[in-house]
Structures are given as C-alpha cells and as structure tokens.
Structure 1
Amino acid sequence: MIQESGLLRRAPWFYASVGAVLLLGFGGAIAGFILFGDSWYQLLIAAALGILFTQVAFLGHEAAHRQILASGPANDRLARVLVAFVGMSYSWWDSKHSRHHANPNRVGKDPDIEVDTISFLEADASEARGLRRAITRRQGWLFFPLLTLEGLNLHAQGFAHLCSRGPVKGRWAELGMLALRFALLLTPILLLLPLGKAAAFLGVMLAVFGVYMGASFAPNHKGMPVIAPEERLDFFSKQVRTSRNIRGGWWATWLMGGLNYQIEHHLFPSMARPHLAKTREVVRDFCKANDVPYTETSLGESYAIVIRYLNRVGLAARDPFDCPMVAQYRRA
C-alpha cells in the first residue's frame, strides 16, 4: 500500500525550501553578529546559531538516510558536508546511527542505550562509581541540564573517532572540512569579541545546540520497551514497539526535523519528511487492526516519561544502606 501510494518518492521542493530558509537564517545571524559588535546581545546570535546548526543536523540525518537526492552516493556526499558543517564526524555518526536503526533498544546492540554519563539500563546504573554514581542516582532530574554539554560531547566524539588508529572512511576529507568549519566559525568570534564574551558566545551556542539535539532525539525511544539480547522479534514489531511518536502536526515536524514520526521513520527510513504524516495514518490503522501497540504522546508527556524512566533506572545506583522504605517510596 505504501509503495503504491507514492509516499516513498523524493520531495526536492520541500528540501529546497528548507535550505532556502536556513540560508536566510544564517545570513540574518551573520548580519546581526556584525551589527551588534562588542555587545552582550551577541548571545542572542549565539542561541540562534545553536538552533540553525541543529536544523542543519536534521538535514544531514535525512541525507544520510537517502531521503533528499536521487542517488545514494550523492546523498552520502551531501550528508558528509552537512554533518561537517555542524561540527560532527559523519563516519562516526553514520556507523552509530545505522546500528541503532538495525536494533533499537536491544541490549548489547543499540549504541544509543550504552552507558555514557547517563545509564539507560539498571545493570549499568548499579555499576556506576564515584561522580558518575552521584549523577546516576539523580539522572532523571539532571538529564536536561547535562544536555547543555552534549554539543561539546558530539564534537569531541567525532574528533576522537577521526583521530583513532582504526580505519576510517574519508578521514582526511572530514578532518579538512571540520578544520575549515571551526576556522571560519571561531576566527570572527575571537577577532570581534573580547575573550570573555567570545567564551560566553561559544558556551551559549554549544548549550543550545546540545539541548535542542538531545531534546529532539531523546523522546523517541527512551522509556520504551528494552529488548533482551536473546529475544526475537520480527522487523515490524521491533521497530514499532520500541519507538514513540510525538503529537503536534506540522509545527512538531518543523521543530523536530520529522523525528516526531519516529515509528514511521524506523519502518521507512528513506521516506522524505513531508510524507511521514500521511504514512502515520496507514501504520496506525494497521497496528490497530493487528493489535500491535502504537505509542504516541505529547512532547511534554514524552519528556516526563523520559525523566521518570531515567530516575527509575538510577535507583539501581543508590547506596545499598539506604532506607528500603524510602527507596520503595521513590519507586512509587
């Protein structure tokens, strides 16, 4: 039915319009940066750049899924440029994201639930020590504050991957594009602004970028069922049961770069963003007819679910001598 409906076709008009809007946005940010000069109003420009870079990251995500251009190699080249423009390594992100799509929320297979600063599994939370243990015990409440560091983390992970000893496809091309990107970004900031304002500018830009990225990707799978390593599910059930859609229509689609239709995106990863809304109707009806759970919430509700889930997982890192009654109260 999806194939016959034409919903798998490209939407070049849509991506051309998104690109035009983003170019205007960057043009306005550059003009504002020049006009504000040595002023704390520059922090508004920094916040705007954080938002614009996140929107470019959404396009890079879609190009990597071969949604934008007609051929696979052309999409790959575009994705490599867009992701470098954001300040990330495409080869690092693509490998990580491909493994996630193949096995969402599967223990030992999905890199997005592997332990980092945050623990997404109780087994990982129980092994936390030192500072990470203190964070893990309160990780639900600390999740969004920690996202202010996610932009810096994404840059660092990309460079670490490109500078690793193993084989990396396109290593030097990516390093060259990233070096050019940071030179073009940092030079005017450091030349026009005093060191303190320049540091604040970069801090705000990275914080907004990190929070926006994390707040767009986190609602999609966190708090949904986790698949045990030995469990076997068919492709459809695996993708639908572990994914969560966000209600909101066109504004949510623009805000989240199409990630609000996470179920449809996982079922049809090469589907262009404008076709996801109509596909949702088909998939939802099919799930209802076949008794497959189809999860859809508001954006605010999804964040509440994520916070509750992380707090519940974080209880595994509590002190073993904590009062059991208090621990039981927390779980409730």
Structure 2
Amino acid sequence: MSNPLKFKDLNRSQFFVTARKRVDAYFKENSISPNANGAMWAKAIFFLAGYALFYGLILSNQFGTWEMLGLALLMGVFAACIGFNVSHDGLHGSFSSHSWVNRLMGNSFYLIGANPYVWKITHNIVHHTYTNIPGHDEDIEVAPGLVRLDPDEELRPWHRFQHWYTIPLYSLASLSWVLRKDYVKFFKGKIGHHDTSSHPRKEYVKLFISKGLYYLFFLVIPFLVLDLTWWQLAIGFVLMHLAEGLVLGLVFQLAHAVEGTAFPIPDENGDMQAAWAIHQMHTTANFAPDSALAAFICGGLNRQIEHHLFPKVCHIHYPAIAHIVKQTAEEFDLPYLENESFGSALQSHYRLLQKLGQPVVEDIKMYSVAD
C-alpha cells in the first residue's frame, strides 16, 4: 500500500503543463534527444575509467603508504561522481531511451557499494514525490535526534550547536550506506509512509551478493595483495568513504536544506494544499548554476529544480532548459531558488542549521500558493 498523502491543485495551476510543453518543444524544435549525448558518454567513461584506474594503481602495490592513501581519497571522490553522473541518470531512466542501457548505468551503483533497488524506492519514489515533508521524506532525517532538519522535531539542547557538527557528520554518509543503510531500508517495512514490506526474491539475493562482492574487492583482496597491515587498510577504506560521504552529503543537502526552502506539513486530512510541481518549487534550490565545474562534478544536481521537475531528462541538458523553467516560474509568480555559488549555498545551509537549532522556525514550515 502506497502513501495516502495527496497533492491538491486547488488553484488549477497551469505552471507544470506550460513548462513541460515548452521543454518538450525545445527538444523537438532543435531535434535533440532528451537522453545522453556525446558529452554525457564522455563524462561517464571518464569517471568510471578513473575509478578503475585508481583501484588498479592501489592493487599494483607499487606505491608507498601515503601515495596509496591519496589514491584512496581520489577513489572516494570519483565514487561520488559516479553516483552523480552515471548511476543517478541510469536509475531515473534518463541516460538512454533503451531500458537495458539505463539498467546497466544504474547498476554502476554496485561499484560504489550501494544498492540500486533500495535507492529507486527511497529516492525516485519517496524523495521525489514527498520532498522535504517531515515524516515522509527520510532524506531530511540525516541523523535522527542528533541533527534537526524537521521544524516539528523535538528541540534538544545540543541542536543549538548543530551548525558546527552537522557538516562534518556528512562524511559518514558513505560508510553508513555501505555498511548499514541499505540493509536497514530494505528490511524496514516502511520508508516514510511508503510500504516496503515485500520485495521480489531476486532483490534479496542481489543485496547480499553485491554487498559481499564489494567487501571482497575492497577489503579482502587488498588485504591479501597489499603490503599493508589490517589497520592501515582499514584507515584507507574509511578515509576513502569519508571523502565520498562528504561530497555526497553536501551536494544533496545544498539542494533542499538552504534558506528559502520550505518543510511543509500536510493539513488535518493528510493532504498538501498545492500541486506537486508547485511543491517542488518551494522545497528545492539550485546552486552554482553558471559553474561548468559544478555541472561536471555534480551531474546536474546543482540544478535540482530542473531535475525534480524533469527527472527523465538527462542532466547534460539542464543548463539549456533552465531558462525555460525559470521564465515559466516567474510568469506564474513562483519561487526559483538559487545560490550563485557553492560557497554561498554552503553558507545558507549553515545558517539554516543554526536557525533550526533554535525554538522558533515557523516561517520555514509552510508555503503559500498564490498563483
């Protein structure tokens, strides 16, 4: 049984209909496929080949301890970039018009120790539908009890310091993912209010075999091959995931937990008093929209507005359609939240954490629908 929460388009907004028609027209008039182009394939090959290269260089046993540590950190960064640039588009079905290609690209998630099946439930279904809704979107539950991103969560004494300790905590995201998160989500029974009590039998097999193979290739084989002690190997493994986790955590949080984004709650009937697309405009933000480096590294996730509205469009096209979305939002008097740079987005996230560590945060809970 799926979540009964509904989005009610009380004002019969034509925003998303208009934006979708204009975006579709852009691709048709320019004879462009909304899927991957040559630049996208080049990015995918670059990050996958780089990840494999670093792994091979480490296993060659031709480098000193410090050099291998540097390679491990680079592997962590490239693992995050594979998630952003390859797996994410594949799992959304936007990489190609061929399902087998999307499946292959999505399965690159296994290379970084994550489970594609669990991700499609938690991210594609739950997060993309119920963005920033407390009790529904578990992506805002970074570390329940320790980090407060839900304005209705009980305020604890240590929350007033969370703007200092939360960002370093993001480094643990990848370790948690590889060692704990997928198992917990898989056997949880519910993610938010979405029923996950029943899974296909093959997914049980895939979960344990893929995790076992990851541990084999990243713990057992290096221990047998490298001239390292077990604790040196453990340090390298942990630091690789700390680098990966910090990159992953920051990119995802800067898209939904910055000043201006709302954390709305359902009404007394359990419904949202807005259309789904309008809800996305109030709960999602872009950062560094004009940075070619951010676009290259983040796989378009620095343009989360375009991604949330058009997840079936490959992220390589987001810069081209962004002006369409922004213009349409302005016409319908809707917010189009952006931070000009990564640094300004990080500062905004810091200030929001600081604000959420205080008792009164009513102004960030709801949004008004005035179009």
What TM-score, normalized by structure 2, do the two folds share?
0.77
Cα offset, 1:71, TM superposition? 3.5
Give the aligned residue type for 1:182. Y
2:304 paired residue among 255, 262, 266: 262
User: Is contact 1:108-1:229 (8 Å) kept?
Assistant: no
| d(CA) in 1 for partners of 2:110, 2:92 | 16
Q: What does 1:46-57 align with in structure 2 at a 5 Å threshold?
A: 46-57=72-83
Q: What does 1:92-107 align with in structure 2 at a 5 Å threshold?
A: 92-97=118-123, 98-107=125-134
Deviation per residue, 1:223-280 (Å, 9 max, x gap): 3112121241113311112111112332111121110111111110111111100110
| d(CA) in 1 for partners of 2:359, 2:230 | 43
2:274 equivalent to 1:241: no
| d(CA) in 1 for partners of 2:135, 2:349 | 21
* Partner residue in 1 for 2:181: 157
2:39 paired residue among 14, 27, 47: 14
Query: What SS does the corresponding residue of 1:67 show, helix, strand or coil?
Result: coil
* Partner residue in 2 for 1:330: none
Q: What does 1:306-325 align with in structure 2 at a 5 Å threshold?
A: 306-316=349-359
Q: What does 1:248-287 align with in structure 2 at a 5 Å threshold?
A: 248-287=290-329
Give the aligned residue type for 1:219. L
* Partner residue in 1 for 2:238: 203
* Partner residue in 1 for 2:367: none
Gap change, CA 1:139 and 1:100, over 3 Å in 2:
same
Give the aligned residue type for 2:94. Q
Gap change, CA 1:70 and 1:174, over 3 Å in 2:
farther
More helix by share: 1
User: Is contact 1:8-1:270 (8 Å) kept?
Assistant: no
| d(CA) in 1 for partners of 2:185, 2:55 | 31
Give the aligned residue type for 2:279. K
Deviation per residue, 1:96-144 (Å, 9 max, x gap): 1121111211233222223624221233142x4xxxx53x331111111
* Partner residue in 1 for 2:215: 182
2:108 equivalent to 1:67: no
2:138 paired residue among 93, 100, 111: 111
Residue range with higher mean Cα deviation, 22-31 or 137-146 = 22-31
* Partner residue in 2 for 1:29: 54
RMSD between superposed Cα atoms in Å: 2.2
Query: What SS does the corresponding residue of 2:66 show, helix, strand or coil?
Result: coil
User: Is contact 1:245-1:296 (8 Å) kept?
Assistant: yes
| d(CA) in 1 for partners of 2:82, 2:343 | 24
Query: What SS does the corresponding residue of 1:138 show, helix, strand or coil?
Result: helix
User: Is contact 1:240-1:263 (8 Å) kept?
Assistant: yes
Query: What SS does the corresponding residue of 1:296 show, helix, strand or coil?
Result: strand
Cα offset, 1:22, TM superposition? 2.1
Give the aligned residue type for 2:151. E
Gap change, CA 1:268 and 1:178, over 3 Å in 2:
same
| d(CA) in 2 for partners of 1:263, 1:226 | 16
2:116 equivalent to 1:90: yes
Give the aligned residue type for 2:344. E
| d(CA) in 2 for partners of 1:271, 1:73 | 17
For this pair of structures, how many residues does the alignment match?
A: 310
| d(CA) in 2 for partners of 1:21, 1:78 | 14
Give the aligned residue type for 1:275. H
User: Is contact 2:51-2:79 (8 Å) kept?
Assistant: no
| d(CA) in 2 for partners of 1:287, 1:217 | 23
The percentage of counterpart residues that share the same residue type is 22
Query: What SS does the corresponding residue of 2:153 show, helix, strand or coil?
Result: helix
| d(CA) in 1 for partners of 2:294, 2:237 | 27
| d(CA) in 2 for partners of 1:184, 1:291 | 52
* Partner residue in 2 for 1:123: 152
2:258 equivalent to 1:229: no
Cα offset, 1:302, TM superposition? 1.1
Cα offset, 1:13, TM superposition? 2.3
The runs of at least 4 aligned residues of structure 1 exceeding 6 Å deviation read none
Deviation per residue, 1:150-199 (Å, 9 max, x gap): 11111211133446684233121232122112211212321312123212
Give the aligned residue type for 1:208. A
Gap change, CA 1:238 and 1:314, over 3 Å in 2:
same
Gaps of 5+ in 2: 1-21, 190-196, 361-371
Gaps of 5+ in 1: 318-332
* Partner residue in 2 for 1:167: 198
| d(CA) in 2 for partners of 1:150, 1:66 | 25
